[in-house]
């Protein structure tokens, strides 16, 4: 029984010492790991795609130049313009284009610029104030060949820059000349002129689908000049007036339809770049030490103790009598 208890105690001591030694061993340090950056999602665009486009916008007109071209009888009369202005306008464009790849595209557009009112005043004698006032309407048709450079697509947004060159067909309509302090009057001849035109673009595209794009852009447009002649009433000579340096700051909302028409968005996954990442230090708690449960052994059986035996005398014991107090 004693040997079994000794074996159990030795085994428990071995387990406890092993757990304590394992808890005291140093933990391995974390090593750098090879990680990957999140893949960049870009929209796939097939090369060589045709498209149609349409634009609507507002043209904020810039100051123009107005030149007086007198007929021979009126040369040297001292007439000069002291003020002139014109109103803003709206316009509509339509065109067809071709995308060579996902960063270069070309198109040809034709647009109509609604007529805008033109006002001017000129004087012969600043002291007396005699002169003429003018009122008419300018409208234009503009054709441009454009080239654009797209700078990549992020979250369906594509910034771009562009340049255009072409021509403008300008008309001065319903020009009226009314004398100031005089009885002279005249009417324009509704002249038209073909002038060179050029434009610069900057904007942002939004890809609603793979083949439907909404475009918000700015355009600086210079569309030439127009000259009109006023036929006088009341004995005056026919003089001409040149409206030049016609330009506008255009703000446009456009749409493009690419072919073939296909709904939905198509995305491709770019090649991810590998990056060495240092992991954060990991702190581990020492392993808990478990004490073995005590082993209970049955108590040894109770053995009765033998009582010592009283030895009996081997001779007869004489009785003891009390001593008499009598003599």
Q: How far apart are CA 200 and CA 204, in angstroms?
A: 14
Phi, psi of 15 (to 5 degrees): -60, -45
Q: How far apart are CA 282 and CA 301, in angstroms?
A: 57
User: Does residue 34 sit within a domain?
Assistant: no
pLDDT in tens, 288-314: 666 666 666 666 666 666 665 555 555
User: Does residue 313 sit within a domain?
Assistant: no
Give the mean pLDDT of 253-282.
66
Q: Give residue 164's domain range.
A: 43-274
Task: Identify whether the C-beta of residue 86 lies closer than 8 Å to the C-beta of residue 61.
Answer: yes
Q: Which helix (H) or strand (E) holds 215?
A: strand 212-222
- Of the chain, the percentage scoring pLDDT greater than 90 comes to 47
Give the mean pLDDT of 37-56.
72
Question: Mean pLDDT, the chain, as a whole number?
Answer: 80
Q: How far apart are CA 80 and CA 99, in angstroms?
A: 51
**How many domains does the chain divide into?**
1
**CATH (domain of 129):** 2.40.160.20
Residue 22 banded pLDDT, cuts 50, 70, 90:
very low
User: Does residue 90 sit within a domain?
Assistant: yes
pLDDT of residue 278: 62
User: Does residue 32 sit within a domain?
Assistant: no
pLDDT of residue 75: 83
- Which of 70, 90, 89 has the alpha carbon at shortest distance from 80? 70
User: Does residue 119 sit within a domain?
Assistant: yes
| b/e map 164-196, b = 16+ CB within 10 Å | bebbbbbbbbebebebeeeebbbebeebbbebe
Give the mean pLDDT of 168-191.
87
User: Does residue 284 sit within a domain?
Assistant: no
Q: How far apart are CA 249 and CA 111, in angstroms?
A: 15
Give the mean pLDDT of 3-8.
57
Residue 8 banded pLDDT, cuts 50, 70, 90:
low
User: Does residue 71 sit within a domain?
Assistant: yes
User: Does residue 301 sit within a domain?
Assistant: no
pLDDT of residue 77: 82
The structure's pTM equals 0.64
Give the mean pLDDT of 173-197.
87
């Amino acid at each position: 029984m004693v040997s079994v208890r000794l074996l159990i105690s030795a085994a428990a001591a071995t387990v406890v010492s092993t757990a304590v030694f394992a808890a005291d061993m140093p933990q391995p340090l974390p090593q750098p790991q090879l990680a990957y950056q999140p893949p960049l999602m870009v929209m796939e665009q097939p090369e060589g795609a045709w498209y149609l486009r349409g634009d609507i916008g507002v043209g904020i007109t810039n100051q123009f130049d107005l030149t007086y071209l007198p007929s021979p009888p009126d040369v040297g009369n001292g007439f000069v313009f002291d003020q002139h202005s014109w109103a803003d306008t709206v316009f509509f464009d339509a065109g067809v284009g071709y995308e060579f790849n996902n960063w270069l595209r070309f198109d040809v557009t034709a647009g109509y610029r609604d007529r805008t009112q033109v006002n001017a005043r000129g004087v012969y004698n600043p002291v007396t104030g005699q002169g003429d006032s003018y009122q008419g309407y300018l409208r234009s048709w503009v054709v441009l060949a454009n080239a654009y450079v797209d700078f990549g697509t992020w979250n369906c947004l594509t910034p771009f820059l562009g340049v255009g060159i072409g021509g403008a067909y300008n008309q001065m309509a319903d020009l009226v000349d009314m004398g100031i302090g005089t009885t002279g009057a005249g009417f324009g001849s509704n002249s038209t002129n073909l002038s060179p035109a050029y434009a610069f673009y900057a904007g942002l595209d939004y890809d609603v689908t793979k083949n439907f794009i909404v475009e918000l852009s700015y355009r600086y447009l210079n569309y030439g000049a127009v000259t009109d002649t006023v036929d006088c009433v009341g004995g005056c000579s026919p003089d001409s007036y040149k409206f030049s340096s016609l330009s506008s700051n255009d703000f446009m909302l456009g749409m493009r339809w690419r072919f073939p028409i296909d709904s939905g968005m198509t995305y491709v996954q770019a090649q991810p770049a590998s990056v060495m990442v240092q992991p954060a230090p990991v702190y581990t708690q020492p392993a808990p030490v478990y004490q073995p449960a005590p082993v209970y052994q049955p108590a040894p059986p109770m053995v009765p103790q033998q009582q010592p035996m009283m030895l009996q005398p081997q001779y007869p014991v004489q009785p003891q009598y009390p001593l008499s107090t009598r003599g």
